[in-house]
Structures are given as C-alpha cells and as structure tokens.
C-alpha cells in the first residue's frame, strides 16, 4: 500500500492513474491500489471510473486542470467512487449504470450507460456477459478496451473474474470482443500490471477464472 499516486501514459491521448481506494480493507478480494483512466477522443476528454486519491491529489488535479475532462463515466456499480466530485469540479457530463449498491449511490443523476451505447468522443460501451451491469469501454482511436472488474491480474497472469455465468455468458461475450481491433486492455484491479496486451487477453479466455 502507498499514498503515492502513479501516473502512466499508455498511448496518445490516453493515460492512467493508480491510487489507494478509500474503502479497501484487509480481507477484500481485490487489491488496495486501483486504476482510473483519462482519454481524449473525438474532441472530448473522458475520465473512466475516476478515483480521487486520499493523499497526493494535488498532482492529479494539476494534470487534469491542464486538460479538463468533459465526461465522467462509471463502468460498473462497484466503481461509483468519486464521480460526484468530478461533476462539481469540472461540470462533466456524468454517465453510469442504471442501478447501484444501496450504500454507494451517487448524488448526481447519471445518464444510463448500457452496451452498444456510443459515448461522447466516439467511445463505445460493451457487453461483458458477467451479469454485473459492467460496460467495458472501447477506445477506437487508441485501440484499447478499458474494463471495470471483468478482468483481473493475479501473480502476473491476466484472468477473467469469475461469475456464475462464466461458461454460458461471460466467455462467449468476451470472445465476441475479439472482433474489435484492440491492441491493449486496461484493468482496474491487479497485483502488478494494469495494462495488458491482446495476446494476454486471448490467453485469459483459456485459463480458469479468478474465483476470489
């Protein structure tokens, strides 16, 4: 665990930041450091699953203030995080799932984000088949897919996060995404590496899922 915020440029107009999640506690089946994404596309600037760090947020705000986001999108109910703060600070267009956990509901009314919806900037919401209301997002300009919880990295291996519908729905849906010409995927939860190659994604679909 660390209070430092890590920034990484992934592609032109695409960077991530990694910081400690506010609500992580020992025993959780996900890691304390999580990933948020910033992307410029089609004249829009979007933050995906944005988290404000507990400490060291000044560096994040400085970087964002230089290219203020216009849209904030939540990809899965578990990732409401700090969307309200981005709405207050930047007056972004807020988007997200149609349902949330009772103890983690945003104050902001979000535009519903469902599979096949085209977001501002030409990004596309996808279907992951896991039944968790997650909509991974395809970034066509960068040839990258950003995931919420559908994938995780454990011990250096990219894996699909298990669900009761793994064989019946998740795998077919995730294999369908191979039709997209993506080159990399970004994941929120990992032991070491949040950015993975297409070949790592293909391998993940053949490996046993992560059961938590």
CA separation for the pair 142, 155 (Å, rounded): 27
Query: What's the pLDDT tens digit per position in 124-135?
Result: 999 999 999 999
Does position 3 have pLDDT exceeding 80, yes or no?
A: no
What is the β-pairing status of strands 93-96 and 71-73? parallel
Q: Which domains does the chain have, with CATH numbers?
A: 6-204 (3.60.15.10)
Query: Taking CA 140 as the corner, what is the angle to CA 183 and CA 188, rounded to the nearest 5 degrees?
Result: 65
Percent of the chain with pLDDT over 90: 88
Query: What's the pLDDT tens digit per position in 187-204?
Result: 999 999 999 999 999 999
**Half-sphere exposure of 135 toward its Cβ, with a 13 Å CA cutoff?**
24
Query: What's the pLDDT tens digit per position in 147-179?
Result: 999 999 999 999 999 999 999 999 999 999 999
- Tell me, what's the pLDDT at 20? 87
Query: Taking CA 17 as the corner, what is the angle to CA 13 and CA 20, rounded to the nearest 5 degrees?
Result: 165
Residue partners of 119: CB distance under 8 A and separation at least 6: 44, 46, 71, 73, 95, 113, 125, 137
pTM over 0.75? The answer is yes
Q: Which two tokens stand for residue 84?
A: 């309200």
Arithmetic mean of pLDDT, 182-186: 98
What is the β-pairing status of strands 44-48 and 71-73? parallel
CA separation for the pair 189, 146 (Å, rounded): 12
Whether the CB-CB separation of 55 and 3 falls below 8 Å is answered with: yes
Query: What's the pLDDT tens digit per position in 64-89?
Result: 999 999 999 999 999 998 999 999 99
- Tell me, what's the pLDDT at 1? 40
Whether the CB-CB separation of 194 and 153 falls below 8 Å is answered with: yes
CA separation for the pair 167, 189 (Å, rounded): 22
Report helix, strand or coil for 61. helix
Query: What's the pLDDT tens digit per position in 29-38?
Result: 777 799 999 9
Residue partners of 172: CB distance under 8 A and separation at least 6: 129
CA separation for the pair 62, 79 (Å, rounded): 23
Query: What's the pLDDT tens digit per position in 48-60?
Result: 999 999 888 999 9
Going by C-alpha positions, the residue among 180, 100, 82, 169 that lies closest to residue 138 is: 180
Edge-to-edge order in the sheet of strand 44-48: 6-11, 14-20, 33-41, 44-48, 71-73, 93-96, 111-112
DSSP 122: G
């Amino acid at each position: 665990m660390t209070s430092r915020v890590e920034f990484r440029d992934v592609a032109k107009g695409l960077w991530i930041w990694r910081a400690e999640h506010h609500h992580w506690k020992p025993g959780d089946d996900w890691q304390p450091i999580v990933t948020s994404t910033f992307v410029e596309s089609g004249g829009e600037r979007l933050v995906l699953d944005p988290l404000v760090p507990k400490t060291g947020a000044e560096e994040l705000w400085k970087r964002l203030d230089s290219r203020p986001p216009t849209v904030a999108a939540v990809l899965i109910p578990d990732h409401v995080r700090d969307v309200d703060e981005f709405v207050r600070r930047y007056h972004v267009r807020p988007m997200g799932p149609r349902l949330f956990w009772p103890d983690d509901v945003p104050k902001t009314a979000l535009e519903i984000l469902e599979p096949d919806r085209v977001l501002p900037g030409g990004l596309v919401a996808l279907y992951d088949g896991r039944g968790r209301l997650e909509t991974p997002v395809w970034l066509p300009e960068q040839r990258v897919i950003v995931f919420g919880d559908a994938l995780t990295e454990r011990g250096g291996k990219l894996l699909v996060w298990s669900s009761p519908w793994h064989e019946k729905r998740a795998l077919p849906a995730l294999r369908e995404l191979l039709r997209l010409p993506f080159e990399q995927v970004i994941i929120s939860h990992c032991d070491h590496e949040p950015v993975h190659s297409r070949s790592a994604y293909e391998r993940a679909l053949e490996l046993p899922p992560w059961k938590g």
